[in-house]
């Protein structure tokens, strides 16, 4: 992809009629469903750091089309072997509908093989995990009238096929929210969507936040938990990785917590922050496992 192509996707995102948008969502859903079957229903995507040369990680977008387009136009993003989004595509930003259009276009053009990975955030959760603000349905109706409701329903169906974690073997574990307080294996992460709601693992992956303490605490969000450094250390051990990369909390692009075990990455500019960032993992960042302090230093900031 080059900048002219991306400009065309944006133009199309603004002018797409209902039928065009509906076709895009249907095609993307088919591709995502196929990838989901290929993983045997697992919500965990595995990346081998020895066969992949470069990985770009992008945090919450929340309807910030300008930041998304800025990131996609960077040469290192266009040439990356994998582009991973950490979830939360719509809501908050006025251009949520257009963000969906661009992201799904990117997904379709990348084709099979999980080159573009769209993780599930708490704003793409199952029907029994309500969240707010949720303006996406309103944005669809504002733009497309009554038929916008059907587009929104189609997008919601697509969420069911999104994976919710990425493991870069021996290096990094990526999720939207945080790590669960009571897991014994990576299989618990991989099939968290299937054990939901009898287990809270899925909710914690999508909702939780780190805290500078030990233990597990009730979250002020009313969903998920606050997880301490000892919990993170145990999940790192189970996963065989060094660092958790997540999004979910607004920050000035990046934030390091728990002695470098946690990197928070935020890729939208808006209500709570003036700076956004994305992360390029290549060379030594893939050859060796780096902690969040080292990752934060290389993160590319967007002003």
Active site residues: 123
Closest to Mn ion by CB, 121 vs 148, is 121
Nearby residues of 110 by Cβ (< 8 Å), 6 or more positions away: 83, 116
Q: How far is it, in rounded angstroms, from Cα 291 to Cα 293?
A: 6
Distance CA 160, CA 283 (A): 34
Considering the complex, what minimum distance in angstroms separates the CB of residue 1 from Mn ion?
26
32 vs 205 by CB, closer to Mn ion: 205
Alpha-carbon distances, residue 43 vs 32, 193, 195, 205, 301 (angstroms): 11, 7, 12, 11, 29
List residues near Mn ion by CB under 5 A: 88, 121-122, 248
Q: How far is the CB of 121 from Mn ion (least distance, A)?
A: 5
Do 35 and 160 form a contact (C-beta atoms < 8 A)?
Answer: no
Q: Which two tokens stand for residue 76?
A: 């290192």
Closest CB 60 distance from Mn ion, rounded Å: 6
Please say which residue, 268 or 290, places its beta carbon nearer to Mn ion: 268
Instruction: Supply the minimum distance, in Å, between the C-beta of residue 201 and Mn ion.
Output: 17
The nearest distance, CB 185 to Mn ion, in angstroms, is 25
Task: Point out the residue whose Cβ comes nearest to Mn ion.
Answer: 248
Peptide bond preceding 281 in cis form (omega within 30 of 0): no
Measured between alpha carbons, how far is 274 from 269 in angstroms, rounded to an integer? 5
Q: What minimum distance in Å lies between the beta carbon of 247 and Mn ion?
A: 7
Nearer to Mn ion, 96 or 122 (CB): 122
Cα–Cα distances in Å, from 104 out to 151, 225, 282? 13, 31, 25
Distances in Å between the alpha carbon of 234 and those of 48, 68, 276? 22, 34, 30
What does the radius of gyration of the chain's CA atoms come to, in whole angstroms?
18
Query: Residue 203 or residue 248: which is nearer to Mn ion going by CB?
Result: 248
Cα–Cα distance list, 23 to 27, 108, 153 (Å): 6, 11, 13
Measured from the CB atom, the residue of 65 and 285 that comes closer to Mn ion is: 65
CB 108 within 8 A of CB 28: yes
């Amino acid at each position: 992809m080059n900048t002219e192509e991306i400009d065309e996707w944006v133009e199309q995102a603004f002018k797409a009629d209902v039928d065009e948008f509906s076709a895009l969502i249907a095609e993307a859903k088919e591709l995502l469903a196929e990838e989901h079957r290929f993983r045997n229903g697992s919500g965990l995507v595995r990346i081998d750091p020895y066969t992949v040369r470069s990985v770009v990680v992008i945090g919450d977008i929340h309807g910030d089309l300008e930041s998304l387009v800025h990131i996609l136009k960077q040469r290192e993003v266009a040439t990356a072997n994998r582009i991973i989004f950490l979830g939360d595509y719509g809501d908050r930003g006025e251009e949520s509908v257009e963000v969906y259009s661009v992201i799904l276009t990117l997904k379709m053009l990348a084709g099979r093989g999980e080159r573009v990975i769209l993780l599930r955030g708490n704003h793409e959760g199952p029907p029994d995990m309500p969240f707010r603000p949720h303006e996406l349905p309103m944005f669809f109706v504002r733009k497309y009238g009554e038929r916008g409701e059907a587009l929104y329903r189609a997008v919601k169906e697509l969420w069911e096929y999104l994976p919710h974690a990425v493991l870069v073997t021996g290096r990094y574990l990526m999720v939207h929210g945080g790590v669960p307080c009571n897991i014994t294996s990576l299989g618990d992460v991989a099939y968290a969507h299937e054990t939901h709601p009898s287990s809270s693992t899925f909710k914690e992956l999508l909702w939780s936040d780190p805290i500078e303490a030990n233990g597990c605490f009730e979250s002020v969000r009313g969903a998920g938990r606050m997880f301490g450094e000892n919990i993170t250390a145990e999940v790192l051990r189970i996963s065989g990785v060094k660092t958790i990369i997540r999004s979910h909390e607004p920050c000035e692009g990046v934030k390091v917590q728990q002695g470098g075990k946690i990197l928070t990455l935020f890729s939208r500019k808006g209500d709570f922050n003036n700076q956004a960032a994305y992360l390029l993992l290549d060379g030594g960042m893939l050859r060796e496992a780096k902690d969040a302090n080292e990752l934060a230093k290389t993160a590319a900031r967007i002003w």
